Amino acid sequence: MGTRYSAVFFAAPGADEAAINARLFAAVNEVDRQMSSWKPNSDLNRLNDASAQQWLSIPAELCTVLDAALRVSRQSHGAFDIGVGELVHAWGFGPGEGRIDEQRIKALKAQPHRPATDVLEIDAEHRRVRKQAAITLDLSGIAKGYGVDRLARCLDTLGITRYLVGIDGEMRARDTKPDGQPWAIAIEKPVRHLRDVMGVMELSDAAIATSGDYRHWIEHHGKSHAHTIDGARREPSSNRLAAVSVVASSCMLADAWATALLVLGEKAGIELARERGMNALFVLHDGDGFKEISIAAGERVTC
């Protein structure tokens, strides 16, 4: 996935650390092999290259992620859309040299917008999928979170019940530390070219994921464009939100919803989080600083 993963856990004395490490690596490596946009032979790219109307057998893990992605897309009124692969490439965020293709962007904007929910058909029972039309899928907004869930599941199967696992800031915790203290998660200040802590969140038996405009971006004609794509507008998301963190039962869902709420913006995103009873932290650009808005179980929290 082009980044690092981590696992902090408390195991029984004499546990085979090398074997645990091998199992953890195998778990995330499998996700990368199936869902990477950068690996030409990944199952995702095999699906992207497949002809329309052709049923294609896919691994159970990829089927799970595609099904969840379409569900979040419908629930977020299309804000989360995995069918933006061509736009991701055209705006310079996919595999390649990181350059914006203005002609390709113009051509894509001229075409009718068809989200993945309108194009992709999933037969979960038989683990197969087909496209009603040509579409390039991108799972960058959900696969990393699913990878964290796979790390967690790996430790669960090994009988390890106290842990904190993560991939590049997306985290999932189980139980507490042996002293009863919850896991402390740093919330990063959404500032470019700087690694600093804005605050700390305590986590237990939950996952957290963050989407923002401060880590991956591209400069073009003197304007900065963040990497999160708004499929309906056919361009990078642009609003007052600097970052959105979502706490959920799984990191896959937290990851997807953080992306969706970031695309929706400070008004529609906060309103939808409230309607759905979510736990989320919205960080807005406010002059030269930031403003925080917290939603806990759908209610706005005043600090």
Residue 214 has pLDDT above 60, yes or no: no
Tens-digit pLDDT profile for residues 56-114: 999 999 999 999 999 999 999 999 999 999 999 888 887 766 788 889 989 999 988 88
Tens-digit pLDDT profile for residues 131-181: 999 999 999 999 999 999 999 999 999 999 999 999 988 999 999 999 999
One-letter amino acid at 85 equals G
Residue 149's nearest CA partner among 66, 242, 248 is 248
Q: Write the DSSP assignment of 28-83 as a string of letters.
A: HHHHHHHH-SS-TTSHHHHHHHSPTT--EE--HHHHHHHHHHHHHHHHTTTSS-S-
pTM metric for this prediction: 0.94
